[in-house]
Amino acid sequence: MRRAAIVSLGLLTSLALAATGLTAAWLAGVRVPLASGATYVTVAKTGSAHYAGEPDGTVFILLVGSDYRPGVGGARGDALHVVGLNPTLGQGTIIDIPRDTCAYVPGAGTTKVNSAHAYGGPRLQAEVLGTLLGVSIPYAVSLDFAGFEGIVNGVGGVTVDVPTEMSDHYSGAYFSPGVVRMNGTQALAFSRDRHDFATGDLQRSWNQGYLILSAIGQLQTEAKDTAGRFKLLALLGRHTQLDGVGLTDLYRLGRLAYDIDTSALENVTLPVGSGGCAGGLTPNGDAPGLLADFADDGVLQTH
């Protein structure tokens, strides 16, 4: 149950991504110190970070939710989403990677991809997923269990158009189809639910991507007025830790997150099947074609 609950953490990393779009206002004069409170979100620059010199180029960003909690071992990357943003086309794609997908992890061999975070944090997770997907991932945004409900509640909740009935006592997800303004507890339950679906974790991964889009769209709307910008800046400023990331990086990433219409972002789960490592999954079907379509410019033209 603990791991099932925590996979949803990656969803709220989208809030950090979207909120970096407000850095433009920050640099213009709204000064908020970084990580002056408990650290909820970490934004790390990887060894593949060449994007800073190419502000108009496609950029790939990893959103990862760790299952770390004080007193509990682990720190696996149990919610994994790679976002490709193409500012020239004004479009992008979210690839949702099921946590049990098998991949080569340095130091561990071929194993479940989420173990990379436990071995080397967000940077190694980005390296492993970059190899799996065939892209260079210069930035990783990571969130742990402690920050999930605090950030959702801190922005006043997340509005989600629930697509299907949910009635799952394991996750606590009880929703009828329709628009729901979710608090932190409800958002956690929505993104935990896998028992209501025949495809289990695959549908849960897609639901996480769906919640990412909902959160980004909401923040884009709410950040249009000064009060909304300041509220988000204050929240993320207090609880975000930058690791190798400068304000120029944040500004450029933020412009992407803020300017690209969420209706131009496609949410796709990586096709997988059984096999590949003990109890794991392996990309199958049209996965090679999908990933090649994604890797060239972050946009799916044929899938």
Domain ranges of the chain: 2-154+220-294
Two tokens at 88?
A: 């020239």
* Nearest CA-CA partner of 191 in 66, 26, 5: 5
Q: Which fold has domain 2-154+220-294?
A: Nucleotidyltransferase; domain 5 (3.30.420)
3-class DSSP assignment, residue 241 = strand
In order, the DSSP letters of 45-86 are E-TT--GGG-TTS-EEEEEEEE--BTTB----EEEEEEEEEE
Which pLDDT belongs to residue 231?
66
pLDDT at 118 over 80: yes
Which pLDDT belongs to residue 298?
94
Tell me which of 54-63, 68-77, 80-89 is least confident.
68-77
The amino acid occupying position 285 is G
pLDDT at 163 over 70: yes
* Region for 214 from its dihedrals, namely left if φ exceeds 0, alpha if ψ lies in -120 to 50, beta otherwise: alpha
* Nearest CA-CA partner of 63 in 126, 127, 155, 153: 126
Q: What is the mean pLDDT of the chain?
A: 77
Helix axis angle, 226-239 relative to 147-154, nearest 10°? 160
pLDDT at 269 over 60: yes
Tens digits of per-residue pLDDT, 180-212? 999 888 887 887 778 888 877 777 778 777 777
Residue 37 DSSP one-character state: S
Which pLDDT belongs to residue 27?
43
pLDDT at 221 over 60: yes
